[in-house]
Structure 1
Amino acid sequence: MHHHAPRSRIPRSIAVLAAAALAMTAASVVAAAPASAATTTVAINGGIVGRTFDGVGAISGGGGNSRLLIDYPEPQRSQILDYLFKPNYGAAVQLLKLEIGGDANSTDGSEPSHQHVRGDVNCNAGYEFWLGEQAVARNPNIKLVALPWTAPGWIGGGNFWSQDMIDYDISWLNCAKGHGLNISYLGGWNERGHDSTWYKNLRSALNSRGFAGVQIVGDDSGWSMADEFGDTTLKNAVGVLGNHYVCGYLSQADSCSTTSNARNSGKPLWASEFGSQDDNSGVVPYIRTVNRGYLDAEISGYMNWPLIAAITPNLPYSTVGLMDAGSPWSGAYRVGKNLWANAHYAQFTQPGWKYLNSSASGYLGGNRANGSYVSLKSPNNSDYSTIYETSGTTSTQTVNVTVSGGLSTGTVRVWSTDMGSSNPSSYFVRQADIQPNNGSYTLTMQPNRIYTLTTTSGQGKGTASSPGSSSLGLPYNDNFDGYAVRKSPRYFEDMQGSYETRACAAGRSGTCLQQVAPQRPINWQDDSDAYTLVGDPSWNNYTVSLDVNMQQAGTVTLLGRANTQLRPQNRQAAYQLRVTNTGGWSIVRHGTDNSNTTLASGSRAALGLNTWHNLKLGFSGTQITAVADGVTLGTANDGAFGGGMAGVGVVGYQTNQFDNLSITPNAGPVLSVLRGAESGRCVDVPGASQTNTTQVALWDCNGGVNQQWVATGSRQLQVYGSKCLDVSGGSTADGAAVIIYDCTGGANQQWTVNADGSVVSVASGKCLDATAHGTANGTLLEIWTCNGGANQRWSRT
């Protein structure tokens, strides 16, 4: 329990003015004045120090999450990078973890190795070194961390805990050094336990090969390494103990934990991965983790997974991070509340500051339900910052603050974020300054806010704004000749294996695309065929054409209408044209359950090896056509997938080459969105579910196939080509849920789309309605008596 000291004596006028000024912004959004909760006395004594703060930041990797950022046009690319890294602008990330790629999927994609085969080192592989350079250019004081999730198959004959892996890590560190990057911390194997002997050998190798200053993080899986610190060689090898989701996975992070052995180890303790939540709705667990992690477990370093969701919206976790940017062709991006939660720390503290203990940090009113606060002081022993969070409360919280121990008693600057608001102008707002009286002041805080109080200055909120999102136009072509070799072509997202530009083989000049991982990698999640996706998930009626040169016996795949992917990456919904070197072919529907349904098959003359052939896979409505070398192989009729990306793959890890990608539009039913006039959000099938009775909801418009609706001649609104917008149970009552269901032709699946924007159920005469005028993501849709409200008006663009 926290015991409250007597209230500090400060003039009532100062207390009232400070509280009123801080409450002004919130007053306009809180409908009724919140009840008042207990007052907390906060004694900030610069002489009562705790652990050293190591920083707050995020992870690029685990994996592929940053992929599309490098393909963004200017000025948007620099705007995004500024929001992430530029001091006093946005997140001001202090710790940046980079994935050491290994040619295998590590959640949202496969990050390329710098050494696909033993001894062939390419220090310009991928985009992580580029991202590190961009981060350091904006903030030279940023601390860089490196960690592998996967590794090429040649490592240790398939054994990760091998000397090969130590050498591989050090070769990556040498590459980083060549890019001007000083890596401060290196981990072992993400979430795969540890081999203590390997960690000791890694320390010896780092010391002897020029990287004695690199600290080892152990073990990114749990706290158990601390239980082995009776082995002093192991203890001395490890610089930091790191664990993941110390406040719970996908939880509200109410409480956090460590172990006594870890806490007493003498090592810094890190939440070396936390997060995994939407960049807006994850803000409460975000700020709770970085506050309560210290209060409950003395955690002193934090990295959110991931830094950014720069991936197309059909992939898992496409809005998870500090911000998301999945539309490089339009330049559109979203700055999340999570980014401002990070700013509430990183713009007001720096690694090397000291946490302040006793009542300088704690739970408001001694009750974690009221919120929490953490104070830190600068190495100058004068400046300090306190970060408060009042998440989950319905009452105002008042703090009486006294400052002592040599800390500044000067002006206190106040910044706040309304975590419950959907208006970005309510995030990271400079409030009225407080002038302490003899080191004392009072602050009254509104519910569900973050507040940072600081004696530092210079903070700022970035002003760059995103353009509107738009789809990638067709036709789209890439002959790969415009790239240097060993590059990832624009808009390609590798899912497994690694696709790079290489000199064309088999008598063809110029540059081609090649799958260059020649064997199964050491995977972090399940294995799959090596494949890559390209383009916009909103594409629907098109033909994808590609030249193919098979280097080894096996099967090549051409993908179309690739839409929802579930984990692991073998659960990629798509149509595939599969062709073997001996001439066997099939049109296959691959489902999110990793099933293959053959829709058509046959054989043709052998393609052979080391010779070029052209393959095409075309879509028009439910008609699918496969062509090889200008001759139709076969057709199929299937309506499971209404749209999605193109892609190319191999069954296994053959090093086949590809050239002259061409994606051309076809005639067919027009897919369009239903965008709410009041919310600006789209009618969406949650989780891209294809399960009958799934209730539709509002969600940010993202071009996903679960937001694409075909208005048919029979008044249906179809999604996925086979499901219809329906009213649950055929009900005609106000409030009846609007769902998807197999198309039956019933009146409960018929809708009239009117010029005024209303979408009216033929069966009931009632309107498609966003429940209770909700505008937030996840607002469920229903039918309701038509009233002309903005929550009943929809546009098709």
Structure 2
Amino acid sequence: MHTHSLLFIIFCIVGCSAEFYVIDDRIGLGREFDGIGGLSGGGATSRLLVNYEEPYRSQILDFLFKPNFGASLHILKVEIGGDAQTTDGTEPSHMRCKDDGNFFRGYEWWLMKEAKKRNPNIKLIGLPWAFPGWIGAGTQWPYFFPNITADYVVTWINGAKQHHNLDIDYIGVLRDALDRAGYTNIGIIAADGDWSVAAAMLEDPYLNDAVEVLGVHYPGTITVKEALLTEKKLWSSEDYSTFNDDIGAGCWARILNQNYVNGRMTSTISWNLIASYYENLSFGGDGLMTADEPWSGHYVVQSPIWMTAHTTQFAQPGWFYLQTVGKLTHGGSYVALTDRKGNLTIVIETMTHKHSQCIRPPLPHFDVSPQIAVFQLKGSFAHLTDLQVWYSKLDFETKNDTLFQRSSPIEVYDGLFALKLDVDEVYTITTVNTGQKGSYPDPPKSCLFPKNYSDDFTITLHSLKPRILLIKPVCLSTSEIAQIMARMRLPYDRWSPNDRTDLSVSCDVLIETPATGGVFLAARVDQGGESVREAKGVFYWIYANGTYKVTNDIGGQRVLAEGQSGTREGVWYTLTLSVKGYFATGMLNGYLLWKNAVVVEPKNGWVALGTLSFEYAQFDNFKVNAE
């Protein structure tokens, strides 16, 4: 693994090929460290987590947020839901109508409170990915109405405080709106995109004063001159977006160091926090770990969790980077941080190009080779005689990784210690002795989605009821409140997992839009989320004009059967779709409407229900029975 004996240091000094690196605080400190975080949302990415039963749900949360246990995250960023498809699903708005206000919809409130239970010091950030249609009168892009969108976000902040006792630390909204609401302590992050806002800030003193943090997405560890000239905090406020396998771990380990070494970014936030959505949605298998089987309780703690721990368990927000950070001569990087009270943490990574590529942006070529590194501690750290060691090795040859292993303390002689570094390794060398590789007994084994599933959509307006179906609710009128216990009204499409080939699915449906309205029930759907418009499967449609159609695609171009149904708006119907082998059959109110439509592809997939375009419909008594 590594060598750090006194004899080895002396040998290296007098005869072997070693590179020397100085760790010194006498020349001043670098930027303040703001922490490492995860992003829940930006597409309903934590949707299934709340469905887990105990004790598995709490175990997963511990691996994410509990200090000195797992990832020990310092920051949680959440989506402010907008009732819109934002990648892998939808998150409900707290204001579905102009006069609406409900601060118990969705699961982000719950998640923020769970994070705070484990780490009261965790920082909370909110960001909208979309807005409900009433903002902008349903015809204009919402950002053309800055005061309305700002008030919408401020209302969310009010709800977080008043109903959940949650203080939001950072937001992306107008400074004046926050100040008028009394939130002068909440910092502004701008602009959660690229670096272009930096040039505008240099030209506009008012804008520069309003912004506390320059936040960018997927910077590739590189910053721009204009951003540095603002002298603001620089954050990679959304990064990673990579599968949580070992290459993803290599990507994450590399950028956690090099976002500061190359770009002086003092915080990195992972999109996403956890892969708690169905794997065959967009970006399936991203996140720091996986929890996408609430029906079984199965979850997987993957290597990105432990790459995170190498930093988060040994440096806290408020620590400072030293100026003596940089690249290793033969590839890799090192950072050093201090709490200015005598504690020191050094994080070293030697990730190779092949094994650390993030999904975006493209990674320019570089070389990494085995090397010997000798570190010389000076200034406040010259007196240290030993340091704690934590070690990880991503072994792509044997597949036998070493993850976050505590090793024997390293001896420091006259301020010197040496490491023999191999490729694809991470070391933490630290004075902090509270690190821990948390563990629980193995969770239940993975299993298929249950053969039989039903949902009557029984919810209350002011409670969170876990569900397997991903449902996008809409604003409810007073008359609809009395009906919600019996049915759910939703636009567009939703789906439920079922990868078995042969099954029967049924649902009660009501078309609300006259003449042009229509709804579908589907099986073997091969795509969802942001890719749903390209989905193939078996789609059984009925329309308000008295017809039906069976198509092999959601766009309705590949027609398998069609004819008269007698259906119209405002009437409840029971649709039943059965698919077996290459044949599909449909019933209406228990009577055969069509049969033996030939289905060659796909051979399996989701079951789904939805409407034409964004029209409204009502659904009740959803059932799936698989063979």
Same fold (TM over 0.5): yes
Quick check: 1:454 aligned with 2:430? yes
1:304 maps to amino acid: S
Return the alpha-carbon distance in structure 1 between the equivalents of residues 525 and 474 of structure 2.
Answer: 18
Q: Tell me if structure 2 keeps the 8 A contact 1:44–1:375.
A: no
**How far 1:184 sits from its partner (Å)?**
0.8
Q: Which of these residues, 272, 277, 284, is aligned with residue 318 of structure 1?
A: 284
SS at match of 2:593: strand
Tell me the percent identity: 33
Quick check: 1:644 aligned with 2:594? no
SS at match of 1:176: helix
Q: Which of these residues, 573, 581, 584, is aligned with residue 544 of structure 2?
A: 581
2:322 aligns to what?
356
1:436 aligns to what?
412
Return the alpha-carbon distance in structure 2 between the equivalents of residues 80 and 424 of structure 1.
Answer: 24
2:190 maps to amino acid: G
Return the alpha-carbon distance in structure 2 between the equivalents of residues 356 and 540 of structure 1.
Answer: 58
Instruction: Go from structure 1 to structure 2 and tell me whether the alpha carbon gap of 1:468 and 1:18 turns closer, same or farther (over 3 Å shift).
Output: farther
Quick check: 1:420 aligned with 2:385? no
Q: Tell me if structure 1 keeps the 8 A contact 2:320–2:339.
A: yes
Return the alpha-carbon distance in structure 1 between the equivalents of residues 477 and 279 of structure 2.
Answer: 29
- CA deviations over 1:532-579 (Å, ceiling 9, x no partner): 11233x232111111112333211111212233484332233321111
Return the alpha-carbon distance in structure 1 between the equivalents of residues 481 and 238 of structure 2.
Answer: 46
1:289 aligns to what?
255
Alignment of 1:48-67 (within 5 A): 48-67=28-47
1:467 maps to amino acid: P
Q: Which of these residues, 629, 639, 645, is aligned with residue 589 of structure 2?
A: 629
1:605 aligns to what?
566
Q: Tell me if structure 2 keeps the 8 A contact 1:503–1:512.
A: no
Return the alpha-carbon distance in structure 1 between the equivalents of residues 307 and 495 of structure 2.
Answer: 33
Report which structure shows greater RCO (CA 8 Å, sep ≥6). Answer: 2
SS at match of 1:656: strand
Instruction: Go from structure 1 to structure 2 and tell me whether the alpha carbon gap of 1:501 and 1:420 turns closer, same or farther (over 3 Å shift).
Output: farther
Return the alpha-carbon distance in structure 2 between the equivalents of residues 660 and 534 of structure 1.
Answer: 14
1:166 aligns to what?
150
2:112 aligns to what?
132
Q: Tell me if structure 1 keeps the 8 A contact 2:395–2:401.
A: no
Return the alpha-carbon distance in structure 2 between the equivalents of residues 602 and 585 of structure 1.
Answer: 6
Q: Which of these residues, 227, 237, 259, is aligned with residue 224 of structure 2?
A: 259
Return the alpha-carbon distance in structure 2 between the equivalents of residues 396 and 101 of structure 1.
Answer: 47
- CA deviations over 1:461-520 (Å, ceiling 9, x no partner): 1212332100122221222336666756511124xx4379999969979432221x6xxx
**How far 1:440 sits from its partner (Å)?**
2.5
Q: Which of these residues, 131, 144, 160, is aligned with residue 176 of structure 1?
A: 160
Return the alpha-carbon distance in structure 2 between the equivalents of residues 214 and 342 of structure 1.
Answer: 26
Q: Tell me if structure 1 keeps the 8 A contact 2:540–2:586.
A: yes
Q: Tell me if structure 2 keeps the 8 A contact 1:477–1:663.
A: yes
**How far 1:18 sits from its partner (Å)?**
13
Instruction: Go from structure 1 to structure 2 and tell me whether the alpha carbon gap of 1:46 and 1:450 turns closer, same or farther (over 3 Å shift).
Output: farther
Return the alpha-carbon distance in structure 2 between the equivalents of residues 377 and 630 of structure 1.
Answer: 71
Return the alpha-carbon distance in structure 1 between the equivalents of residues 279 and 477 of structure 2.
Answer: 29
SS at match of 2:169: strand
SS at match of 1:285: helix
SS at match of 2:226: helix
1:460 maps to amino acid: Q
Return the alpha-carbon distance in structure 2 between the equivalents of residues 535 and 146 of structure 1.
Answer: 29
Return the alpha-carbon distance in structure 2 between the equivalents of residues 507 and 608 of structure 1.
Answer: 20
Return the alpha-carbon distance in structure 2 between the equivalents of residues 612 and 347 of structure 1.
Answer: 56
SS at match of 2:295: coil
Return the alpha-carbon distance in structure 1 between the equivalents of residues 453 and 529 of structure 2.
Answer: 26
Q: Tell me if structure 2 keeps the 8 A contact 1:543–1:617.
A: yes
Alignment of 1:16-95 (within 5 A): 38-45=18-25, 47-95=27-75
After alignment, is 152-161 or 597-606 more displaced? 152-161
1:13 maps to amino acid: L
1:512 maps to amino acid: R
Alignment of 1:197-216 (within 5 A): 202-216=174-188
- CA deviations over 1:37-60 (Å, ceiling 9, x no partner): 642323333652111111111111
Q: Tell me if structure 2 keeps the 8 A contact 1:215–1:240.
A: yes
Q: Which of these residues, 288, 295, 312, is aligned with residue 329 of structure 1?
A: 295
**How far 1:621 sits from its partner (Å)?**
1.0
1:545 aligns to what?
506
1:142 aligns to what?
122
- CA deviations over 1:289-345 (Å, ceiling 9, x no partner): 121111111111111111111111221211111011221111111222111111111
Instruction: Go from structure 1 to structure 2 and tell me whether the alpha carbon gap of 1:62 and 1:439 turns closer, same or farther (over 3 Å shift).
Output: same
**How far 1:231 sits from its partner (Å)?**
1.3
After alignment, is 153-162 or 53-62 more displaced? 153-162
Instruction: Go from structure 1 to structure 2 and tell me whether the alpha carbon gap of 1:124 and 1:587 turns closer, same or farther (over 3 Å shift).
Output: same
Return the alpha-carbon distance in structure 1 between the equivalents of residues 459 and 488 of structure 2.
Answer: 12
After alignment, is 397-406 or 226-235 more displaced? 397-406
1:397 maps to amino acid: Q
TM-score normalised over the length of structure 1:
0.71
- CA deviations over 1:388-435 (Å, ceiling 9, x no partner): 001126643322222232236143111111123576761111111113
Gaps of 5+ in 2: 353-366
Return the alpha-carbon distance in structure 1 between the equivalents of residues 113 and 154 of structure 2.
Answer: 19
2:89 aligns to what?
109
Alignment of 1:452-531 (within 5 A): 452-464=428-440, 465-481=442-458, 487=464, 490-494=467-471, 497-498=472-473, 510-515=485-490, 530-531=492-493
1:244 aligns to what?
217
SS at match of 2:504: strand
**How far 1:437 sits from its partner (Å)?**
2.5
Q: Tell me if structure 2 keeps the 8 A contact 1:561–1:644.
A: yes
Return the alpha-carbon distance in structure 1 between the equivalents of residues 376 and 165 of structure 2.
Answer: 45
1:780 aligns to what?
none
2:625 aligns to what?
664
Instruction: Go from structure 1 to structure 2 and tell me whether the alpha carbon gap of 1:124 and 1:340 turns closer, same or farther (over 3 Å shift).
Output: same
Quick check: 1:535 aligned with 2:497? yes
**How far 1:81 sits from its partner (Å)?**
0.8
- CA deviations over 1:758-793 (Å, ceiling 9, x no partner): xxxxxxxxxxxxxxxxxxxxxxxxxxxxxxxxxxxx
Q: Tell me if structure 2 keeps the 8 A contact 1:500–1:513.
A: no
SS at match of 1:257: coil
Return the alpha-carbon distance in structure 1 between the equivalents of residues 478 and 584 of structure 2.
Answer: 33
1:175 maps to amino acid: G
Return the alpha-carbon distance in structure 1 between the equivalents of residues 582 and 608 of structure 2.
Answer: 19
Gaps of 5+ in 1: 1-9, 20-35, 189-201, 248-255, 518-529, 667-797
Q: Tell me if structure 2 keeps the 8 A contact 1:279–1:339.
A: no
SS at match of 2:64: helix
1:761 aligns to what?
none
Quick check: 1:223 aligned with 2:195? yes
1:790 aligns to what?
none
Return the alpha-carbon distance in structure 1 between the equivalents of residues 87 and 101 of structure 2.
Answer: 25
SS at match of 2:609: strand
